[in-house]
């Protein structure tokens, strides 16, 4: 429990740090890390304390400062800068039972950082802007470029071991809810089918449902969190996906809203006078820009089905 408190402090701090602008005061991330380190010294067993000290402080600070800014910002090509920090944190989370739910969450997202690096490598260098000294910034990769990267990354992957157990029962649940059964593969993208997965922001379970969303869908969080139970969580996720598809009339937009929120998608559609995912793709949060083609590539690989052409069961 003490270890979980310390690492929740570290990870939650990273998830809550906003993107910086020139108009905002700088955040004292060093002070935050010092406070966490002092907590560790005061509360943790010596072996656990040594494990914390073995993690590169600079990499952890960098990860905490930039995770929220990069993934919730709209620029994909900077996301790869989080790779070293994530790789430094993951073994620590994996080493202790109390923090393995956070490891499951992070592990399912490691390929975002690698994909961003690959996209950056193939993106043409930006041209200087005439009449300005501002450094040029390459445009976000197109949806087509993202699709190509994710097909390449996903296609060699075997079924996750847990999928062999859960996919048949999850498909039956999605079918009962009137949702295309192929969408059960969101659980691979969200958690690797690990029902323990927990994000720093509070999403839990195979389908990474946030507390408010889960409650609105009829799940109980106390005394037992039903988001950790595959069957209730699958019913809730399927209901939510059905609602999103009814709202947007398009599975790509529905999946984007599942990741970034209905409000985000609605605002972008209105801002760009758009009706399709392609029209807003490069303006979505960076994580969502990668999430949708990753989901699409995963469903294509596992089921031979195209996301935008899925039919209800």
- Closest CA relative to residue 171, chosen from 183, 160, 181, 186: 181
Report the distance separating Cα 259 and Cα 175, nearest Å.
22
Active site residue 161: no
Beta carbons within 8 Å of 201's beta carbon, 6+ residues apart:
12, 15, 210
Q: Bridge partners of 57?
A: none
- Per annotation, catalytic residue among 188, 190, 287, 296: 190
Beta carbons within 8 Å of 245's beta carbon, 6+ residues apart:
179, 251, 254
Question: For residue 255, how many C-alpha atoms fall within 13 Å in the half-sphere facing its CB?
Answer: 33
Q: What burial letters (b/e) apply to 107-124, b meaning 16+ CB within 10 Å?
A: bbbebbbebbebbbeebe
**Strand, coil or helix: what is 155?**
coil
Backbone angles phi, psi at 204, to 5 degrees: -140, 145
Q: Please give the positions annotated as active site.
A: 190
């Amino acid at each position: 429990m003490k270890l979980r408190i310390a690492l929740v402090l570290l990870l939650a701090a990273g998830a809550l740090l906003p993107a910086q602008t020139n108009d905002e005061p700088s955040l004292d991330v060093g002070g935050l890390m010092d406070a966490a380190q002092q907590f560790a010294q005061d509360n943790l067993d010596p072996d656990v304390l040594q494990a914390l000290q073995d993690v590169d402080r600079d990499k952890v600070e960098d990860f905490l400062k930039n995770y929220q800014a990069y993934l919730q910002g709209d620029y994909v090509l900077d996301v790869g800068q989080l790779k070293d920090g994530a790789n430094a944190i993951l073994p620590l989370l994996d080493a202790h039972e109390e923090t393995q739910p956070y490891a499951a969450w992070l592990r399912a997202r490691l390929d975002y950082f690698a994909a961003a690096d690959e996209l950056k490598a193939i993106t043409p260098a930006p041209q200087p802007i005439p009449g300005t000294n501002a450094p040029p910034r390459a445009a976000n990769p197109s949806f087509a470029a993202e699709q190509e990267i994710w097909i390449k990354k996903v296609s060699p992957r075997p079924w996750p071991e847990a999928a062999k157990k859960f996919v048949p029962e999850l498909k039956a649940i999605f079918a009962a809810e009137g949702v295309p059964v192929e969408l059960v593969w969101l659980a691979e993208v969200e958690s690797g089918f690990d029902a323990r997965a927990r994000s720093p922001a509070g999403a839990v379970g195979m389908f990474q449902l946030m507390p408010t969303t889960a409650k609105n869908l009829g799940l109980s969080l106390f005394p037992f969190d039903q988001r950790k139970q595959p069957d209730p969580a699958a019913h809730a996720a399927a209901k939510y996906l059905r609602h999103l598809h009814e709202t947007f009339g398009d599975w790509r937009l529905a999946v984007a809203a599942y990741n970034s929120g209905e409000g985000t998608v609605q605002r972008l559609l209105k801002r760009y006078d758009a009706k399709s995912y392609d029209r807003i793709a490069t303006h979505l949060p960076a994580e969502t820009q990668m999430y949708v083609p990753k989901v699409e590539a995963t469903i294509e690989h596992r089921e031979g089905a195209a996301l935008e052409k899925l039919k209800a069961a």
